[in-house]
Amino acid sequence: MNFPIRADLAASFTDPMPERADVVVIGGGIIGVMTAWELARTGVRVVLLEKGRVAGEQSSRNWGWVRAQGRDLDELPIMLEAQQMWPALEAEAGDVGLRTTGTLYLAEDDAQLARYADWLLQAKMYQVSTRILDAGQVAKALPGVSRNYVGALWTPTDMKAEPWVAVPKFARAAQAAGAVILEDCAVRMLDLVGGRVTGVVTERGLIRTSSVVLAGGAWSSLFLRRHGVNIPQLSVRATVAATVPMGDVNLGGAVDMRLAWRKRADRGYSLAPSGFHELFVGPDAFRALGGFAKLLWEDPLGTRLLPSAPRGYPDAWGTPRKWSGDQISPFERCRVLDPKPNAARVARMAQDFAATFPGLGKVKIAQSWAGMIDTLPDIVPVVDYVDQLPGLVVCTGMCGHGFGIGPAFGRIAARLATGGGAGFDLQRFRLSRFSDGSKLIAGPNL
């Protein structure tokens, strides 16, 4: 197994660095890669800069779901466009394990099933394929299951793909379309004249540009803070485990109150604890506590607090918040966020999966990993211009939902970066919602 992508992997994207570009994209995850690809397709001179490895962080560490089911309603039309894009992207980039296998949210009581039904009622206006299954239909969908589910939310048109395959292949396709891509090239800061973007200062020198897209994932808040822009973005650790190849229970993604699972192309399963993440408490966590208080109180993320982040992480106590363009930045000191997985949770997931499907026999874990998910208090991203820094577009805070929707948000970011219309109503994702007195409304807690 060669996933997820780690820092010790040799650099694959080593294009010469140009002096100028029409657009510079910061961050080589799914959002940044797709932004660069969209721009290159239209003949825009675009440079994608990644401090570590393309897809080295959450973009190769996620579950691999490409789902519309359960989405925030304002994300839903964007996600449906992304699902239309995925097959064409695979046809151009090569096999990324894309399969239409459906998503199954399993209900263990009537209250949970009622929440699913309420989401479906609201989502019907978008003509989703989702429907409610009763207990008998669930039993047929999951032969050999030992648990008694009262029903489920089922979206047969949802897809899956292999993240550690898809994102690098999409980057290669972007490169073939004309994008310049550099790994091991951190952007230290923006170059500004009169408060307006005129370039980016990298560890290798200056690139002149009037348009920058920040798609830095867990690092976006730290980068923005360096320029006096504050967003209440935090990062939570999410643990994932990969089993050895096993028999089939269902081919798509499914989740209940204990566990989420997805059949991979290598016939093993990716497992994750349902509704459980861990927050390393640091300076940003204290600053953002007010915004996250309701979220933590209601606990939709099942968040466990940990006293401090590993050295060099974006919200570690010792991570600098200010530096100059001629200084080594935090982005160079930590090339790839590669947190240790929660070993106790990995063991429990193996036990839970074996107990749910006893016919599979003992569940053997081949490897485990963790990623840092960038999240915001209302569980939806920021996709907007940064008014304080003309020329900067930010697309961050995907809250663990970025892989599937990434192609469409990349397209939107590319449009914004070139002065075009987004094509969607982005009011829900505006940056100013954290400062204009708006009441924050959290996305679905399904």
Same domain (yes/no): 122, 233: no
The yes-or-no verdict on residue 385 having pLDDT over 50 is yes
Q: What is the DSSP string of 293-311?
A: HHHHHH-TT-EEEES-PPT
Q: Is residue 170 part of a domain?
A: yes
Q: Is residue 218 part of a domain?
A: yes
Q: How confident is the model at residue 293 (pLDDT cuts 50, 70, 90)?
A: low
Task: Give helix 30-41 / helix 163-176 axis angle, nearest 10°.
Answer: 30
The yes-or-no verdict on residue 371 having pLDDT over 50 is yes
Domain stops at, among 156, 179, 200: 156
Q: Label the pairing between strands 303-306 and 277-280.
A: parallel
The total of structural domains in the chain comes to: 2
Same domain (yes/no): 79, 107: no
Domain stops at, among 90, 125, 156: 156
Q: Is residue 12 part of a domain?
A: no
| pLDDT in the model for residue 394 | 98
**What are the tens digits of pLDDT across the range 246-287?**
999 999 999 999 999 999 999 999 999 998 888 888 888 777
| pLDDT in the model for residue 184 | 98
Closest by CA to 142, choosing from 223, 39, 286, 261, is: 261
Residues near 195 by Cβ (< 8 Å), separated by ≥ 6? 388, 389, 390
Closest by CA to 416, choosing from 398, 399, 391, is: 391
For 374-398, give the secondary structure using H, E and C. EECCCCCCEEEECCCCCCEEEEECC
Q: Given 3-state DSSP classes, what are the helix, strand and coil percentages for the chain, each rounded to the nearest 5? A: 30, 25, 45
Residues near 387 by Cβ (< 8 Å), separated by ≥ 6? 431, 432
d(CA 426, CA 8): 38
> Residue holding tokens 């969607």?
424
Same domain (yes/no): 207, 109: no
Same domain (yes/no): 125, 189: no
Closest by CA to 272, choosing from 262, 263, 260, 264, is: 260
Q: How confident is the model at residue 301 (pLDDT cuts 50, 70, 90)?
A: very low
Specify whether the CB–CB gap between 399 and 373 falls below 8 A: yes
The yes-or-no verdict on residue 192 having pLDDT over 60 is yes
Same domain (yes/no): 114, 231: no
Domain stops at, among 133, 156, 179: 156
> Residue holding tokens 């947190």?
339
Amino acid at 375: T
The yes-or-no verdict on residue 66 having pLDDT over 60 is yes
**What are the tens digits of pLDDT across the range 175-191?**
999 999 999 999 999 99
At 190, which CATH number? Answer: 3.50.50.60
Q: Is residue 61 part of a domain?
A: yes
For the ranges 81-85, 179-183, 278-282, 296-300, the lowest mean pLDDT is seen at: 296-300
The arithmetic mean of pLDDT across residues 323-348, rounded, is 97
The predicted model scores a pTM of 0.96
| pLDDT in the model for residue 296 | 53
Q: Is residue 439 part of a domain?
A: no
Same domain (yes/no): 108, 249: no
Closest by CA to 153, choosing from 212, 113, 192, is: 113
For the record, the structure tokens of 261 come out as 């699972």
Q: How confident is the model at residue 300 (pLDDT cuts 50, 70, 90)?
A: very low
Sign of CA dihedral 299, 302, 306, 308: negative
| pLDDT in the model for residue 298 | 54
Same domain (yes/no): 138, 279: no
Q: Is residue 2 part of a domain?
A: no
Same domain (yes/no): 194, 147: no
Same domain (yes/no): 113, 221: no
The arithmetic mean of pLDDT across residues 31-40, rounded, is 98
The CA-based angle 362-366-371, given to 5 degrees, is: 120
Q: Is residue 203 part of a domain?
A: yes
Proportion of the chain above pLDDT 70, given as a percent: 96
Task: Give helix 163-176 / helix 76-93 axis angle, nearest 10°.
Answer: 70
Residues near 400 by Cβ (< 8 Å), separated by ≥ 6? 58, 62, 238, 373, 375
**What are the tens digits of pLDDT across the range 162-172?**
999 999 999 99
Same domain (yes/no): 138, 231: no
Same domain (yes/no): 138, 190: no
- Residue range of the domain that includes 130: 103-156
Same domain (yes/no): 138, 272: no
Task: Give helix 30-41 / helix 402-417 axis angle, nearest 10°.
Answer: 40
Closest by CA to 77, choosing from 438, 301, 412, is: 412
Residues near 51 by Cβ (< 8 Å), separated by ≥ 6? 184, 185, 186, 187, 219, 331, 332, 335
Specify whether the CB–CB gap between 131 and 154 falls below 8 A: yes
Please provide the average confidence, as pLDDT, over all residues in the chain: 94
Q: What is the DSSP string of 132-185?
A: EEEHHHHHHHSTT--S--SEEEEETT-EE--HHHHHHHHHHHHHHTT-EEESS-
Proportion of the chain above pLDDT 90, given as a percent: 88
Q: Is residue 344 part of a domain?
A: yes
CA dihedral (426, 43, 21, 391) in degrees, to 10, reads -20
Question: Phi/psi at 241 (nearest 5 deg)?
Answer: -130, 150
